[in-house]
Amino acid sequence: MNFQLIGVNHNSAPIEVRERLAIPESRLPDAMRRLAEHPGVDEGLILCTCNRVEVLAQTKNGAADLRRFLREYFQLDPAQYEPHLYEYRESEAVRHLFRVAASLDSMVVGEPQILGQVKEAYATARAVGAVHSQLDLLLTRAFAVAKRVRTETAVGSSAVSVASVAVELAKKIFGSLQERHVYLVGAGKMSELAARHLVAHGAASIFVANRTHERAAQLAGKFNGQVILFEQLYETCDRADIVITSTGAPHAIFRREHGELFLSRRKNRPMFFIDIAVPRDVAPEMNDLDGIFVYDIDDLQQAVSTHVADRRREAERAEAIVQSEVERFQARVQTLDVVPTIVSLHDHLETIRQAEIDRVRSRLGPLSPEQEMAVETLTRGIVNKIMHTPISTLKTAAREPEATTVIDVVRRLFNLEEKKAARSGADRDQS
Amino acid sequence: MPLLWLRVALGCYAIGLLYALLALTQRSYLLNRIALPAMSLGMVFQFVSLTESVLAGEPVTITLVHNSESLLALLVMAAFMIVFLVYRTTSPGIVVFPLVFLLSFVAATGQQPLLTSPGLRRGWLVAHIALIFTGYAALFLSFAASLLYLVQERSLKSKKASGTLLRLPALEVIDEIGYRSLLLGFPFMTLGLIAGSIVAQTTYGRVNLLDPKIFLSLLMWAVYMVMVFTRWNAGWRGRRAAYLAAGAVLAAVIAWSANYFSAIHRFVQS
């Protein structure tokens, strides 16, 4: 495993730096191709979003100079961006990539777009052949980790703005917002925003009642809604499932008796009052009625801050998942690392065994099938006994950090070096 | 053999029970994943158990009577599965799974002391049992839905966004589940009672309306009808609907237990 990652994100670098390093989508394939051809780089991938530019590489022996790649590619004064660069290697790089894909490194933690962006970068890199074996493994795992985080934690599931909380609550009450009617009482900016969110989530129609008629007409026009005279408010309000109030009235305009009236007209179908006005437009005791739900601006803001806290807590659980996945991935890659050594050790000893049998066969004269069998069994037995300890040591070491040292020792002891080079050369010719 | 399969089914249902108990306090990823498959598997074993009992040679009616709890559990699970297929929610399981477990547990451990009389009209009896039990299953599900409605309503009213623990469906969806199962259950219950009274009448002649079994069954039916009516006419839901549903379930349970002290439901010719 020789992963290296270098980059800038919204935390490490201001926008001026990020925009200089941004690579337009049309030029990304070419950039990745050049990365893969950079000295010491086996495979490469570049992730470029508005919040980050990251270069990830699988290097031949951990010796690729990615800073040089950036210098050569961008031809910028390094002093402009190098102080903002972060650099990760090996498991740290793996962890970083997992965190990015799982949206734990995002500006808004849990936002869902980033995973799609990583997937796009992966598709581009595959298309130009910059990603084929080890990085392929790493990225596929990163997608699985992101999915695990999404399904096992609630990070990213809760709304973090007043308007989106309002939508979330409306959905908790009504399920789908299709066929639901929204009534705007008063025509403030905030209520317009909330209405816009509701409509975006499928709300059917908008009614607007405002003391000044022009403003109502103007707002209704934006949503293709219907203007209702303020005097008819109480007669018409039961048509709406969701009522957003934001008038400047000094006293509550909806009181308990109105709630009871609406409910009996609506056959007890629930109603959701979103009261953004201060002082409040909806009397708090309305919330005591079965089927009427009243949220004032404080309630909504309260919900927002709990959600933010929820996200933070869930993010911690997500970090734990990432940590365990990094360890799993490391173990897996290291096992993969020892496999070629085991194979070449086996090949090496088998070649010796065959050569020795061939050498003595002429001296032994013709052998009966039984004798042939006995020789075969004897030599195989010896070879297996000899191989047993190195192989089990390799397998145990695969799970430890010192894997590479053990691999080196075994290779040197059995003189496997040149054979490995020849083998990997052959592999490359085939692919 | 049928008892063995029933016990295997009970084992599967135990996982559902665990899920239901833990769902209220913590989220378990593993349980979330395995609860539904386990319950489905339980249904299969229970079905096998019932089928084997039926094929064992005794007349169908007697088998059904002897395995009534098991049959009821299976029907309740079936109703739950229908809701799951339509609404993609397992939330009613929080109430339904323990009930199913309890019914299967009773079925697996104790045999009802029911005797049979040769003069019974078998076809009507089978119809009676099947219809009434389908009605019961729908009623239980409706009750489960009304409990969930209360939980969801309370969480919305309290304005505490504790939504991560228990992800219930939207209030209106829960309400729809409850109402629809109520509506669907009503004709079954009604027809079941009619079938039952036909059985009773042909077996015993004129039936005493004050016999506890008959009286309580009629009471239950009346509560059920009031529920359907208030829901349909006045849109009663939430607390009031839950009280009514609880009342109907209670009446159903009492009517059920009346088997043990009623003169006519023992299937004995006195």
d(CA B82, CA A393): 56
Give pLDDT, residue A243: 94
**Residue closest to B17 by CA, chosen among A240, A102, A68, B9:** B9
CA distance A236 to chain B (A): 20
d(CA A25, CA A374): 67
- End-to-end CA separation in angstroms for chain B: 34
Instruction: Taking residues A43-68, report their average pLDDT.
Output: 86
Assess A24–B contact: CB distance below 8 Å, yes or no: no
Confidence bin at A353 (pLDDT 50/70/90): very high
> CA of A354: how far to CAs of A53, A159, A416, B187, in Å?
55, 69, 17, 84
Q: What is the three-class DSSP state of B135?
A: helix
Sheet architecture: strand order including A86-89:
A41-48, A52-59, A3-9, A86-89
Q: A63: buried, middle or exposed (CB in 10 Å: 19+, 13-18, 0-12)?
A: exposed
pLDDT tens digits for B69-121?
Answer: 888 888 889 888 988 888 888 888 878 888 888 888 877 776 554 545 555 56
Q: Are B104 and B2 in contact (CB under 8 A)?
A: no
Instruction: Taking residues A287-298, report their average pLDDT.
Output: 90
The answer to whether the CB atoms of A290 and B170 lie below 8 A apart is: no
**Residue closest to B93 by CA, chosen among B44, B152, B148:** B148
A191: left (phi over 0), alpha (psi -120 to 50) or beta: alpha
d(CA A79, CA A70): 12
Q: B166: buried, middle or exposed (CB in 10 Å: 19+, 13-18, 0-12)?
A: middle
The answer to whether the CB atoms of A175 and B172 lie below 8 A apart is: yes
DSSP calls for B2-14? HHHHHHHHHHHHH
d(CA A272, CA A251): 20
> CA of A4: how far to CAs of A62, A64, A138, B90, in Å?
7, 8, 12, 45
Assess A266–B contact: CB distance below 8 Å, yes or no: yes
The answer to whether the CB atoms of A268 and B236 lie below 8 A apart is: yes
Give pLDDT, residue A125: 92
Give pLDDT, residue A118: 93
Peptide bond into A279 cis (omega under 30): yes
Using CB atoms, pick whichever of A171, A267, A310 lies closest to residue B164: A310
Sheet architecture: strand order including A242-245:
A226-227, A205-209, A181-185, A242-245, A271-275, A292-296
Assess B206–A contact: CB distance below 8 Å, yes or no: no
Confidence bin at B58 (pLDDT 50/70/90): low
B251: left (phi over 0), alpha (psi -120 to 50) or beta: alpha
- By C-alpha distance, the chain A residue nearest B230 is A267
Q: A8: buried, middle or exposed (CB in 10 Å: 19+, 13-18, 0-12)?
A: buried
pLDDT tens digits for A188-201?
Answer: 888 888 888 888 88
Share the mean pLDDT of chain B. Answer: 78
- By C-alpha distance, the chain B residue nearest A149 is B29
Q: Which residues of B touch A290 (CB under 8 A)?
A: 153, 237-240
DSSP calls for A346-371? HHHHHHHHHHHHHHHHHHH-S--HHH
Task: Kindly compute the dihedral angle of the four CA atoms of residues B130, B133, B135, B137, in this order, to the nearest 10 degrees.
Answer: -130
- End-to-end CA separation in angstroms for chain A: 20
Give pLDDT, residue B139: 86
Q: Which helix (H) or strand (E) holds B213?
A: helix B212-234
Q: How many Cβ atoms from other residues are within 10 Å of residue A388's Cβ?
A: 10
Strand-pairing partners, residue A271, are A292
Share the mean pLDDT of chain A. Answer: 86
Q: Which residues of A touch B169 (CB under 8 A)?
A: 175
CA distance A198 to chain B (A): 16
Confidence bin at A20 (pLDDT 50/70/90): confident
Burial per residue of A144-162, b for 16 or more beta-carbon CB atoms within 10 angstroms, e otherwise: ebbebbbeebbbbbbbbeb
DSSP calls for A248-305? --SS-SB-HHHHHHHHHHTTT--EEEEE--SS-SB-GGGGGSTTEEEEEHHHHHHHHH
d(CA A135, CA A236): 62
d(CA A176, CA B179): 18
Which residue out of A50, A339, A367, A374 is catalytically annotated? A50
Q: Are A162 and A194 in contact (CB under 8 A)?
A: yes
**Residue closest to B175 by CA, chosen among B226, B253, B233, B239:** B239
Strand-pairing partners, residue A194, are none
Rounded to an integer, what is the distance from CA B237 to the centroid of its chain? 21
DSSP A57: E
Long-range contacts of A422-426 (CB under 8 A, 24+ apart): A423/A340, A423/A344
Confidence bin at B164 (pLDDT 50/70/90): very low
Q: Record the tokens describing residue A389, joined without a space.
A: 């300890």
Q: Record the tokens describing residue B155, joined without a space.
A: 């969480």
Q: Which helix (H) or strand (E) holds A417?
A: helix A417-430
Q: Are A394 and A338 in contact (CB under 8 A)?
A: yes
Instruction: Taking residues A395-408, report their average pLDDT.
Output: 74
Between A68 and B258, name the one with better pLDDT: A68
d(CA A179, CA A115): 33
pLDDT tens digits for B6-43?
Answer: 888 888 888 888 887 777 656 666 777 788 888 899 99
d(CA B182, CA B190): 12
Q: Record the tokens describing residue A206, joined without a space.
A: 């908008």
Q: How many Cβ atoms from other residues are within 10 Å of residue A50's Cβ?
A: 13
In the predicted structure, residue A265 carries a pLDDT above the cut 60? yes
Domains of chain A with bracketed CATH:
3-152 (3.30.460.30), 162-298 (3.40.50.720), 325-430 (no CATH)
Confidence bin at B162 (pLDDT 50/70/90): low
Between B253 and A147, name the one with better pLDDT: A147
d(CA B183, CA B179): 6
**Residue closest to B77 by CA, chosen among B51, B23, B38, B126:** B38
Assess B247–A contact: CB distance below 8 Å, yes or no: no
- Strands A226-227 and A86-89 come out as unpaired
In the predicted structure, residue B57 carries a pLDDT above the cut 70? no
The answer to whether the CB atoms of B156 and A172 lie below 8 A apart is: yes
CA-derived radius of gyration, chain A: 33
Q: Tokens 């009930």 belong to which residue?
A: B99
> CA of A194: how far to CAs of A18, A300, A375, B44, in Å?
33, 12, 86, 49
d(CA B270, CA B266): 9
**Residue A50 annotated to the active site:** yes
Give pLDDT, residue A309: 82
pLDDT tens digits for A103-114?
Answer: 898 887 888 888
Give pLDDT, residue B25: 59
> CA of B219: how far to CAs of A300, B186, B193, B255, in Å?
46, 14, 11, 9
Q: Are B9 and B105 in contact (CB under 8 A)?
A: no
In the predicted structure, residue A223 carries a pLDDT above the cut 60? yes
Using CB atoms, pick whichever of A267, A269, A293 lies closest to residue B157: A293
- By C-alpha distance, the chain B residue nearest A294 is B157
d(CA A368, CA A364): 11
DSSP A212: S
